[in-house]
Amino acid sequence: MKTLKLTVSLVLFTVVSTIALSQNPVLKVWPTGVPGSVKSDSWTEKATETNGVVSRYEKVTDPTITVFLPTAEKATGTAVLICPGGGYGVLAFDHEGYALIMKDKSVGPLQDAQEALRIIRRNREHYKINPDKIGVIGFSAGGHLASTLSTHYAEKVYEVKDTISARPDFSLLIYPVITFDASFTHAGSRKNLIGDNPSQATIDHFSNELQVNAKTPPAFLVHSSDDKAVPVKNSLVYYENLVKNNVTAEMHIFQKGGHGYGLSVGKGTQSAWPGLCIKWLNEIFKSCFFSAALNYFLSGSLR
């Protein structure tokens, strides 16, 4: 039986200040075809535009990485892989950062994310990237994928052609789905990824708070107490297990904000998170380049 696999578009966001969108390189994640995919003529990609700009993608059959490059004087060698939200069903591309028929839908997003991270490292010389300063950011269900990559980066989900690591050096998790525990998960994300009746082993495998260990990358988490879509407990349990494993972590819980606010430019106290993120990155890397590095991102590129 053909099964629906809901992958996530993967965007390489190198540190930028200004960019020319027409010049952004686009790299195919799987130039020779997606591992484990099943051909279907009835399955076609759909893009939704809002005010002339693509805001959502559905039914993507050919995942890509869009490269946003800094000007030469602003380049710092740091890269961030962006995983937008959308409940593993659509991609909220406008303010947070492509679905495909698969033999095993649950491994699709992870294999895409692993390969995207490896592509960034393989192209480190071409794009002048420091291979030790490559992170991942994820929003909502994209936060589940980012935390899955952070805890399952060494899991073999496809045949890798080299020894390049898929481990991110840091993760930024914004109102993330973390767990698939039915009592506090986002039900839609869980159903879309692992189905209606998953085994307990599968639930635990994709509950990323249970997969944290001492080698999990440092993490910065953002959530709001009044989030009705993804309970704040998702961030709390991930942070708790990072601390238990002596992994560098910082978490900011805001009183209000709800869910899906992206950068929240000009809104409530939750709008402080991008600046706090920059300060955290500067602290863990003992440098000040992130102020320039994330200038484009934090000025509203994903609003």
Each residue's pLDDT tens digit, 126-174: 988 889 999 999 999 999 999 999 999 999 999 999 999 999 999 999 9
Query: Which pLDDT score, from 0 to 100, does residue 262 have?
Result: 86
Of 31-35, 170-174, 228-232, 273-277, where does mean pLDDT reach its minimum?
31-35
pLDDT digits (tens, 9 = 90+) for 21-66: 446 788 888 898 888 766 666 656 555 555 654 445 555 677 888 8
Q: How far is CA 31 from CA 13, 22, 110, 118, in A?
A: 20, 22, 17, 14
242 by Cβ neighbours in 10 Å (0-12 / 13-18 / 19+) ranks as buried
* Cα–Cα distance for residue pair 302/290, rounded to 1 Å: 17
What CA–CA distances, in Å, run from 104 to 70, 100, 114, 115, 119? 37, 11, 16, 17, 23
Per-residue model confidence (pLDDT) at position 96:
33
Summarised one tens digit per residue, pLDDT across range 240-266 is: 999 999 999 999 999 999 998 988 877
Taken in order 202, 204, 207, 210, the sign of the CA dihedral is negative
pLDDT at residue 102, as a whole number:
60
**What integer is the mean pLDDT of 208-237?**
98
pLDDT for position 222: 98
Whether residue 189 contacts residue 202, with contact meaning beta carbons closer than 8 Å, is answered with: no
Tallying the residues shown for the chain, one arrives at: 303
Q: Answer yes or no: is pLDDT of 115 > 90.
A: yes
pLDDT above 50: residue 268: yes
What residue ranges do the domains of the chain occupy?
A: 3-301
CA pair distance 137, 46, nearest whole angstrom: 24
Mean pLDDT score, 79-91: 70
Looking at 1.10.3720.10, 3.40.50.2300, 3.40.50.1820, 3.30.360.10, the CATH number of the domain 3-301 comes to 3.40.50.1820
Amino acid in position 281: L
Which range of 15-29, 36-50, 99-113, 188-202 scores highest in mean pLDDT? It is 188-202
Query: What was the pLDDT predicted at 185?
Result: 96
pLDDT category at 285 given cuts 50, 70, 90 is confident
**pLDDT for the residue 294:** 55
Q: Is 98's pLDDT higher than 60?
A: no
